[in-house]
């Protein structure tokens, strides 16, 4: 069973602030994912600068396997402490983990990280380390498929203070909320957005503090292959379709002409659905042996819109897709479920589009924009032009 890591985060800016005082930095190197969530002291520009410097320095050093004591010493000596309160410039949580779920978690003054296993929350066992008079907590990670590590800034446990709640939302309530709302198969980004969204509700839409939730999930790999448009050389239709079908994982066909060619190759036919779950998205079809069959350009255009919202770290729209139109079904498969996406893009001119403001360059731009957003989600993306 091949495993991989996925990560995602959602941030809320303190009300009336253009910049977030929290910053998340992540990198993948040498088979390890390193994610740092830093919370700068105060809010606004100063906090943003402090958290950005902290997260970038830590992420770079930890990814290079530099000892955590040296990393923290670098931070302490590089950045100023508050002269008035004498407290740290920035708090942080660091996850450094390989695709098998083995690695370390380091925490300094952020709310304690939470392990979500089988949709239920658990505490990590933490060891305190003294670094230049500061206590940094270290946790050895040995996770399994489906486990999610959730880290957060203190805006999460302050949510609702003096507004909807007297004492804020304490960690036990955070864990209880996740216990009741995390569903099997949810991505790291979906879980982060879920928690940030309820914090925003507790703040009545006006966060009293910068609030950030980040998550890293150990998951099984799932490949998805997507064919859109017929190839230029019609004599090679069977060759291209055989190649498309030979790969493992889920198979998706987009576009009427592509669907007909694939159905013919499989000695079957395309059955149309007459349901319109969304009036702006053409109905899906069905081909035996294909996991999902949709219309082409209009569905892809809606899918691109959904991907823009999905990658926006400030967007609180739920990241799971329950609607049954073609674009939502595609979004659920490509954004939430797949780890690897392979596009097979036919560059033949579609006769059905003659006289319409749809041309081959529009389709290619849609695919390239979508591929760029999938890469931002951490997917491995390949594109073959036929």
Give the C-alpha separation, 281 to 276, whole Å.
Answer: 8
- Check pLDDT > 80 for residue 332: yes
Q: Whole-number mean pLDDT of the chain?
A: 91
Domain 3-220 sits in CATH at 3.60.40.10
Query: What average pLDDT does range 197-224 have in this prediction?
Result: 95
Tens-digit pLDDT profile for residues 80-122 = 666 555 555 789 999 999 999 999 999 999 999 999 999 999 9
Is residue 13 within 8 Å of 19, Cβ to Cβ?
yes
Higher pLDDT, 81 or 299: 299
pLDDT tens for each residue of 58-78: 999 999 999 988 998 888 788
pLDDT for 356 equals: 52
**Residue 304 above 90 pLDDT?**
yes
Domain boundaries of the chain, sorted by first residue: 3-220, 223-385
User: pLDDT value at position 34?
Assistant: 97
Q: pLDDT by residue (tens digit) across 313-322?
A: 999 999 999 9
User: Is the pLDDT reported for residue 268 higher than 60?
Assistant: yes
Percent with pLDDT over 90 in the chain: 75
Q: Which of 287, 242, 248, 296 is nearest to 268 (CA)?
A: 287
Instruction: At 280, give phi and psi (nearest 5°).
Output: -90, -5
Calculate the alpha carbon distances from 178 to 84, 119, 256, 361 in Å: 37, 8, 42, 44
- pLDDT tens digits, 346-377: 887 665 555 555 566 788 899 999 999 999 99
Lowest model confidence (mean pLDDT) among 51-55, 81-85, 335-339:
81-85
């Amino acid at each position: 069973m091949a495993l991989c890591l996925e990560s995602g985060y959602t941030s809320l800016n303190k009300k009336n602030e253009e910049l977030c005082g929290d910053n998340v930095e992540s990198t993948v190197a040498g088979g390890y994912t390193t994610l740092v969530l830093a919370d700068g002291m105060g809010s606004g520009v100063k906090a943003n600068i402090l958290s950005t410097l902290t997260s970038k320095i830590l992420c770079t050093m930890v990814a290079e396997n530099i000892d955590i004591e040296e990393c923290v010493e670098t931070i302490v000596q590089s950045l100023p402490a508050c002269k008035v309160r004498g407290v740290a410039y920035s708090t942080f949580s660091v996850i450094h983990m390989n695709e098998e779920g083995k690695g370390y978690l380091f925490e300094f003054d952020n709310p304690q990280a939470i392990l979500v296993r089988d949709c239920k929350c658990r505490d990590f066992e933490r060891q305190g380390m003294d670094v230049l008079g500061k206590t940094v907590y270290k946790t050895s990670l040995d996770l399994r498929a489906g486990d999610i590590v959730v880290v957060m800034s203190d805006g999460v446990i302050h949510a609702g203070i003096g507004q909807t709640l007297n004492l804020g939302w304490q960690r036990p309530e955070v864990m209880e909320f996740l216990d009741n709302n995390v569903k099997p198969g949810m991505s790291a980004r979906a879980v982060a957005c879920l928690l940030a969204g309820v914090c925003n509700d507790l703040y009545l839409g006006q966060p009293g503090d910068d609030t950030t939730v980040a998550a890293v999930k150990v998951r099984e790999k799932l490949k998805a292959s997507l064919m859109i448009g017929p190839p230029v050389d019609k004599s090679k239709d069977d060759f291209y379709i055989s190649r498309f079908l030979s790969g493992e994982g889920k198979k998706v066909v987009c576009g009427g002409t592509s669907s007909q060619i694939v159905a013919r190759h499989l000695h079957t036919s395309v059955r149309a659905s007459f349901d319109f779950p969304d009036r702006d998205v053409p109905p899906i079809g069905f081909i035996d042996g294909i996991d999902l069959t949709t219309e082409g350009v209009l569905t892809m255009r809606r899918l691109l819109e959904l991907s823009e919202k999905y990658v926006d770290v400030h967007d609180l729209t739920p990241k799971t897709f329950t609607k049954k139109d073609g674009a939502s079904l595609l979004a659920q498969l490509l954004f939430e479920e797949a780890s690897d996406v392979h596009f097979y893009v036919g560059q033949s001119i579609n006769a059905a589009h003659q006289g319409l403001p749809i041309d081959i360059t529009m389709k290619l731009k849609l695919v390239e924009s979508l591929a760029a957003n999938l890469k931002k989600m951490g997917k491995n993306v390949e594109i073959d032009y036929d």
